Amino acid sequence: MLSNLAEIEQEINSFSVNNPEELEAFRLKFISRNGLVTGLFEELKSASRDEKPILGKKLNEVKKLAEGKFNSLKEQFENAVEAGDKLDLTLPPAEFSIGREHLISQTLAEMVKIFREIGFKVTDGPELEDEFYNFDALNTPAHHPARDMQDTFYVQNKFDKSKKYVLRTHTSPVQIRTMLANKPPLRIISPGKVFRNETVTYKNYFMFHQLEGLYVDKNVSMRDLKGVLSYFFKKFYGENTQIRFIPSFFPFTEPSGQIDISCFLCEGKGCKTCKETGWLEIGGCGMVDPNVFKAVNIDPEEFTGYAFGMGMERLTMMKYGITDIRILYQNDVRFLDQF
């Protein structure tokens, strides 16, 4: 009988119970009126007087083991049923906000992809710049309005008050750093944040993003510049996009031009967005001024180059019909979820 008890005890411990039906099968097999444990109590009556105390003690232990397992599992299943009864399956599911790339980040990724397709390398530089990289090397005179406090954020060097630093006003300093560290040919784009001391309005912000490009090699011409920009804008805005150049002025390029593209909203017919002209101003460009090459130790007699720059916010707003730059930085989920 002791051997039977050991086998039954092992079977109780190993019996798998995963649902109420299996729990009922456990009860019927071990602790019901016709179960194995109950049957052993009947056999105990025929045991000798000396065996009964030992067998009775062991049999009670096996019975408690079986009943304890049954009661514990029964309570677990009942609690699970009660918890399920409290669920209202007719309620709508909870809504979860899924993170996504910001619209400016999407624009940046798209612009970088297009320029990489035609051989441009992405470069980066510090946002806190020395005046040399931000102004001097870019042929910006000391009296130029861009240096005024009204346009530039200056940062004082507490250890050397004679030296001024600025929050970069464009990403052109990256081009200067690249030309100083590398020899031509160079074909780079430099996307990143820039800062201007401007009043925040629907079209101006004190911080925004620019992407500037530079190509330096022998015999680079304005024709090359126009070809690259035409390729980019047709990719970005559509194959029907036209491009034109209007004479302009920048200290670091000569000749300089304003980049206009045909209004993709009215297809050049004239609308409020393009002020009835059929054209949209999109950025600036030109051939690198020889004085810039001299500042970075590149021979302007041997090499030529072009540069261009455009604001990502402006491109984004025009592409998606956004009329207020401020909404791009207000983190309004209702707006961001549209993109």
For 26-84, write each residue's pLDDT tens digit: 878 777 777 777 777 777 666 677 777 777 777 778 788 888 888 888 888 777 655 55
Is residue 157 very low, low, confident or very high in pLDDT (cuts 50, 70, 90)? confident
Is residue 102 very low, low, confident or very high in pLDDT (cuts 50, 70, 90)? confident
Q: What is the mean pLDDT of residues 235-253?
A: 90
Q: Specify if 74 maps to a domain.
A: yes
Neighbouring-strand partners of residue 286? 256, 307
Q: What is the mean pLDDT of residues 237-256?
A: 90
Residue 326 predicted with pLDDT over 60: yes
> What's the rounded Cα separation, in Å, for the pair 276 and 263?
10
pLDDT at 90: 72
Domain boundary among 29, 55, 85: 85
Residue 14 predicted with pLDDT over 80: no
What mean pLDDT, rounded, does the chain reach?
85
Q: Specify if 156 maps to a domain.
A: no
76 and 182 housed in the same domain: no
Q: What is the mean pLDDT of residues 223-243?
A: 91
Domain boundary among 85, 112, 141: 85
Q: Specify if 150 maps to a domain.
A: no
Residue 26 CB neighbour total at 10 angstroms: 21
What is the β-pairing status of strands 128-130 and 164-167?
antiparallel
Residue 149 predicted with pLDDT over 90: no
> What are 69-77's contacts with CB under 8 Å, separation 24+?
69/12, 69/15, 69/17, 69/26, 70/23, 70/26, 70/27, 70/30, 70/31, 73/17, 73/23, 73/26, 74/23, 77/19, 77/20, 77/23
79 and 109 housed in the same domain: no
Q: What is the mean pLDDT of residues 280-295?
A: 93
Domain range for 250 is 104-125+175-336
Q: What is the mean pLDDT of residues 262-281?
A: 78
117 and 196 housed in the same domain: yes
pLDDT at 85: 54
Q: Which amino acid appears at position 330 of this protein?
A: Q
Is residue 92 very low, low, confident or very high in pLDDT (cuts 50, 70, 90)? confident
